[in-house]
Structure 1
Amino acid sequence: MISSLTELLPDMLKAFYETLYMVGLSLLAAIIIGIPAGILLFVSDRGLFYENRVLNMVLGVIANIIRSIPFLILLVLLLPFTQAILGTTIGPTAAAVPLSVAAIPFYARLVESSLREVNKGMIEAAVATGAKPWLIIREVLLPEAKSGIISGLTITAISLLGFSAMAGTVGGGGIGDLAIRFGYYRYDNKVLFTTVILLVVLVQIIQFLGDWAARKVDKR
């Protein structure tokens, strides 16, 4: 077993890097687009300082539609889009496209949920003082919801790790691809178990770092 795994070490290191690359790109997209989308979902809701029922409904429907599609189906549906923007549907960069599309509404809803936990009295007090919406978001909402936003990012990262393994089954690369090519197709359970252990270790590391970061910024 040790011998066969040693021979696969270069492929394992490459798969590990590809997985981190895919998840990293998708998380970056989730942060850049998901956080503003989550904020818009929250502040445009009824009774808040930027109430806009049409905007809220449109964003909510889009987020719900994307989140309701199983990832493998979403991956296949986005193949033409991925092909159009990248010129290929194979490899970790191509896999990062559907991963990002899945991550953005998922994280946006988690951000919205975190913002809903902020004390409404603080928001009302800021509005009463005449603070502008951007100031309220920057100085009240985001600082108060920071711990929940980080926890949501942790959940998103772990979910993306599982999605990235699925992307490997259709040529996305990464640990999932390694498990299929060297484990499933060759009936090598040692490789399958090793890839599972790798994923478990990655999840534990992400969860530990996320919990630590959330505790560090928690004001309570």
Structure 2
Amino acid sequence: MTRIILITGANRGIGRELAAQLAIAGDTVLLSARDAGAAKRAASEIGGDVHPIQLDTSDLASISAAAEKIEAGYGRLDVLVNNVGGIYDYGQKASTADLAVAQQALETNFFSAWRVTQAVLPLLRKGKAARIVNVSSEAASLDRMGAAVPAYATSKTALNALTRVFAAELADEGITVHAASPGWTATELGGEGGRPVAEGAASILHVIDLPADSGTGGFYQDKQVLPW
């Protein structure tokens, strides 16, 4: 059965590349973006079984409308990829950080995923071997955490915690939940010096494709388990 996969923030960067890789594999990809035109252009350029959906992860009405569109068009969802992220606060220190930036990072990297997950969970419950993949970062690992990018790191750590909470709650329903790190990637957020976007997307693709019997609540990068 062809999987139906929703990716948030997929009109550029890792999300777009992931959509392309999934389309090549034969999946039905719902490519969402805050701007409907951007989603439509990206889906058209990728081609294949890729369909644009307007979805602003900060707007409950937009999220609800997207969920209703998926329900009407497909009746279920097999995989949700919470890919929206940002606010990489270079140069900040926790002792002097602008807390407005920290709040924005939590909104972008944490609450957006929580909102979307709540909204589409009824559709995931209708899917087969459904899965949620939260795009995290190695910077979220408490075991490896240092002083850099405090707003980004703590917001992604919160996302990891949400991953574990949902994994525990949904385990008995057969819905698996994982966090996936693409590594330092040469995107608009990652900047120059990162690895190719295709490699970062492939790290997430691996988690999407994990066998159902591989458990739930994992944190992965490049097919390796990361320490929480």
> Is the TM-score greater than 0.5?
no
Higher strand share: 2
Q: Which has the higher contact order (CA 8 A, sep 6+)?
A: 1
> Normalising by the residue count of structure 2, what TM-score does the alignment of the two structures yield?
0.28
Higher helix share: 1
